[in-house]
Amino acid sequence: MSETLLQLRNVGKRFGDHVVLKDINLDIAKGEVVCVIGPSGSGKSTLLRCINFIAPPEEGEVIFEGRTWKRFHSAFNFIANRKYEAKLPTLRAEIGMVFQHFNVFPHMTAIENVVLGLTKVRGNTRNVAREIAERSLRQVGLGDKLDQYPEKLSGGQKQRVAIARALALNPKVMLFDEVTSALDPELVTGILDEMRRLASDGMTMVVVTHEMNFAFQVATRIVFMDAGRIVTIGTPEEIRNTTEPRARAFLSSILG
Amino acid sequence: MDGYQYNWNVVWQSLPELRQGLIITLQVSIMGMSLAIVFGLLCAIGRLSQYGYIRKFSVAVIDFSRSIPLFVLLFWVYYGLSLKFSINLTAFQAGAIALGITGGAYMAEVFRGGINAVDFGQREAALAIGLTQSKAFNLVVLPQAIRIIVPQAVNVYVGLLKGATIVSVIGVADMIYVAQYISLNSFTPFEMYSAVGVAFIALTVSIAGLAFLLEAKLNKGRSRG
């Protein structure tokens, strides 16, 4: 196994009294594709949001490229909160994320969606940013849609814009949150192919998915979650032959 | 109206004075609206704050400002500040501030509604690419919220414009003041106030027209109007 890129240490998250994640420990090596599976409401999406602190975990820590990230929040100390919040973008800029509902910016054209991060986060000039954005959109097959507003694009095309927007920033790891769940069936394959291409290019990926075929074909390891905990982790082969009863029940209900 | 002799000539003769009053009305309402936008945005951001006590304070300020009749507020700002704190404002300044406070309470709710109407995923996606909180708000959330805010802000402004007719009570020489003053001498209140009414209708319709053009401009990239 090559060097570790990302570690989750005893990560826990709750909303009020409701515990969403508990004792999450996970090490991800550079170039790995980790697929996270499990029943709905098992905390898979929250786990992804903890990694880039979109939903900061209350407990535990995330270690990314050797740097430790912990949640900080004071009820009164505004300045300390500001200081902490000002650091988070440096973590998030290295982590690409693609969402179930695309979340493309509707008031911007496809290329403006991609340019935004390049200019405002990476500090590129507009011309350089447009060049990178164009290349990035071409790679996902949207070379002829650069100046279209998202409204005029299909779900699959919107999701491609979202992927290009994340990739253009040259992230070290990509998080995919059920990115095909909101797509029409005929568009799913295209997006999955895009992700296969990324994986074979050596991108480190954490993929929350209900696409079992994809998970078993592409993943280096599969994480099975239930009720906010990681129940079992293993290679696709190990998970297929797992004896853990909950994982067994879940897989047999899905794979038949 | 038995026996009442209409004298519309008075209206035509006093057009220059009415025009002057109209300009004052517009000025005081635009000043008031500008203050309302600043005050309202501050209150709205306070209401959406992550700190509970700031949220509660903002709610209290909004409820308070919204509950006071503009008429009373005018007296407080104009005479009250002068008597209690020796802050002497001109009638125009007091009128603009009173309008700003009343309008601000409504604008706060308009801003909050607009910001809340933007899908939460938009903010998440903006943060996920590494934008700071303020850039995510300014570049992604606010431009989308503005489409919802503009039409409602126009309503608030039309309300303020009509509210601005009250500032005559503290002696701002607005249209109502002019109409009142002239009809005292010519005994033609019906004609003068009707003229003011027609001017307001014309103003409101023009503002609605401008708002329509502005909305069309903001709605680029979105065909639902």
ipTM value, please give it.
0.93
The C-alpha atoms of residue A151 and residue A162 are separated, in whole angstroms, by: 14
Contact B122 A105 (CB under 8 A): yes
**Does some domain include residue B8?**
no
**Does some domain include residue A92?**
no
B221 pLDDT tier (thresholds 50, 70, 90): low
Domain, as residue range, for B149: 17-218
Q: A166 to chain B: nearest residue by CA?
A: B129
Number of domains in chain A: 1
Terminal CA-CA length for chain A: 33
Is residue A227 a contact partner of residue A185, using CB atoms and an 8 Å limit? Answer: no
Number of domains in chain B: 1
Closest partner CB to B130 (pick from A92, A109, A151): A92
Domain, as residue range, for A140: 104-171
Interface of chain B against chain A, CB under 8 Å? Answer: 51, 119, 121-122, 124-133, 135, 139-140, 143-144, 220-223
The C-alpha atoms of residue A206 and residue B182 are separated, in whole angstroms, by: 77
> Backbone phi, then psi, for A145, in 5-degree steps?
-120, 15
Which residues 38-97 on chain A approach chain B with CB closer than 8 angstroms? 49, 52, 54, 75, 78, 85-86, 88-90, 92-97
The C-alpha atoms of residue A107 and residue B218 are separated, in whole angstroms, by: 9
Flag whether pLDDT at B224 surpasses 50: no
Contact B221 A121 (CB under 8 A): no
3-state secondary structure of A25: strand
Contact A52 B143 (CB under 8 A): no
**Range B207-222 average pLDDT:** 79
pLDDT in tens, B159-209: 898 888 888 888 788 888 888 888 888 888 888 888 888 988 998 899 888
A128 DSSP assignment? H
The C-alpha atoms of residue A226 and residue A42 are separated, in whole angstroms, by: 5
**Does some domain include residue B7?**
no
Q: Which one, of B150, B151, B130, lies nearest residue B140 by Cα? A: B130
- CB proximity A103 to B under 8 Å: yes
- Looking at A48-62, A81-95, B51-65, B84-98, which range is the least confident one? B84-98
| Cα torsion angle, B131, B135, B137, B138, sign | negative
**Does some domain include residue B80?**
yes
Give bridge partners of residue A208 from the DSSP assignment: A36, A177
Two structure tokens written together for A38: 């499990």
**Does some domain include residue A181?**
no
3-state secondary structure of A46: helix
- CB proximity A148 to B under 8 Å: no
The C-alpha atoms of residue A104 and residue A159 are separated, in whole angstroms, by: 8
Q: Which residues of B179-215 are buried (b: 16+ CB within 10 A; e: fewer)?
A: bbebbeeeebeebbbebbeebbeebeeeeeeebeeee
Taking each continuous run of H as one helix and of E as one strand, the counts in chain A are 9, 10
**Does some domain include residue B10?**
no
C-beta atoms surrounding B123 within 10 Å = 19
CATH number of the domain to which B89 belongs: 1.10.3720.10
Instruction: List chain B residues with CB under 8 Å of A96.
Output: 128-129
pLDDT in tens, B93-114: 899 999 999 999 999 999 999 9
pLDDT in tens, A106-161: 999 999 999 999 999 999 999 999 999 999 999 999 999 999 999 999 999 999 99
B225 pLDDT tier (thresholds 50, 70, 90): very low
Two structure tokens written together for A66: 């050797």
> Backbone phi, then psi, for A234, in 5-degree steps?
-175, 175
C-beta atoms surrounding B24 within 10 Å = 20
Question: What does each C-alpha distance from B7 to B14, B20, B21, B150, B176 come to in angstroms?
Answer: 12, 21, 20, 41, 18
The C-alpha atoms of residue B155 and residue A208 are separated, in whole angstroms, by: 45
pLDDT in tens, A185-235: 889 999 999 999 999 999 999 999 999 999 999 999 999 999 999 999 999
pLDDT in tens, B147-157: 889 889 998 99
**Å between A124 CA and nearest CA of chain B:** 14
Flag whether pLDDT at B132 surpasses 90: yes
Is residue A215 a contact partner of residue A37, using CB atoms and an 8 Å limit? Answer: yes
Q: B54 to chain A: nearest residue by CA?
A: A76
Question: What does each C-alpha distance from A223 to A44, A177, A250 come to in angstroms?
Answer: 10, 14, 13
Instruction: List chain B residues with CB under 8 Å of A148.
Output: none
A164 pLDDT tier (thresholds 50, 70, 90): very high
Is residue B138 a contact partner of residue B73, using CB atoms and an 8 Å limit? Answer: no
Closest partner CB to B130 (pick from A89, A108, A151): A89
C-beta atoms surrounding B17 within 10 Å = 17
Angle of CA points A2, A26, A29, to nearest 5°: 15
